[in-house]
Amino acid sequence: MFKRIVNDIDSVFARDPAARSRLEVILCYPGVHALIFYRLSNWLWKHNWKVTGRFVSSLSRFLTGIEIHPGATIGQRFFIDHGMGVVIGETATIGDDVTIYHDVTLGGTSLNKGLRHPQIGNNVIIGAGAQLLGPIKVANNARIGSNAVVVKDVEQATTVVGIPARPVPESVRVREQGDRNFKAYGTPQDEEDDPLLITLYKLRNDLANLQMRVTELEGNDNGLVESAVKWENK
């Protein structure tokens, strides 16, 4: 458990340029505090100290504003940036090297006792305000844009944005062998990466082409009328 906590602390430096020292991270990062509480509550939960585990989890929520159910499964080098308002449900699973920003919810949509929360792969980034609902699967290297609402599975190395969440174009997907640079908040920064804008641009181009075609047809029709008039005059 202690080794995992050390790895969690060290992972902050790779993803937050504001971090200057381990002491600062330990003292000033609520996401790290919440993880320390989680590691303890999860150990208690697994050893059948259910109520004590829930109590530690509730204490963590009171102190950090981050709610992680002790039954959740979280991998190594997990980083919660800012953290306030994060909710992670009981049956949620989170892989290694995952980053989550504030106001993110990994929530359940069913009253069943079984699997009902999101299953997150490795090296995933979930932007601020994103809501992932139900037992969906988010594959490795996926990016969830800020304020996205995700209710369906997300494929590997795919960036999704919007409500409901939609994949951005193929050209900006993060490939296994391609760009693995860290992208804060998981949100594309270029205007051309917005799937809604791309659709609007396509509609605008289609409309312009249609107008040109109508103009051409009108010109041909006028030519036919002039030819008919000349033939009748003969």
Question: What does the buried/exposed string (b/e) look like for 25-35 if buried means 16 or more CB atoms within 10 Å of the residue's CB?
Answer: beeebbbbbbb
Residue 111: phi, psi to the nearest 5? -90, 0
Q: What is the pLDDT along the chain (234 residues), one digit of tens a residue?
A: 677 777 778 788 778 788 888 888 888 889 899 999 999 999 999 999 999 999 999 999 999 999 999 999 999 999 998 889 999 999 999 999 999 999 999 999 888 888 999 999 999 999 999 999 999 999 999 999 889 999 999 999 888 888 888 888 754 444 444 455 666 666 665 555 556 666 676 787 778 888 887 777 777 656 555 555 555 555
pTM to 2 decimal places? 0.73
The CATH code that applies to domain 2-188 is: 2.160.10.10
Q: What local confidence, expressed as pLDDT, does residue 9 receive?
A: 81
Residue of 73, 70, 67, 163 whose CA lies nearest to 118: 73
Burial zone of 118 (CB within 10 Å; 0-12 exposed, 13-18 middle, 19+ buried):
buried
At 79, which helix (H) or strand (E)?
A: strand 79-80
Q: What confidence score (pLDDT) does residue 180 get?
A: 55
Task: Delimit the domains of the chain by residue range.
Answer: 2-188, 194-234
Q: Return d(Cα 180, Cα 14) in angstroms, integer.
A: 13
Q: What is the pLDDT of residue 232?
A: 57
Q: Which pLDDT score, from 0 to 100, does residue 104 have?
A: 95
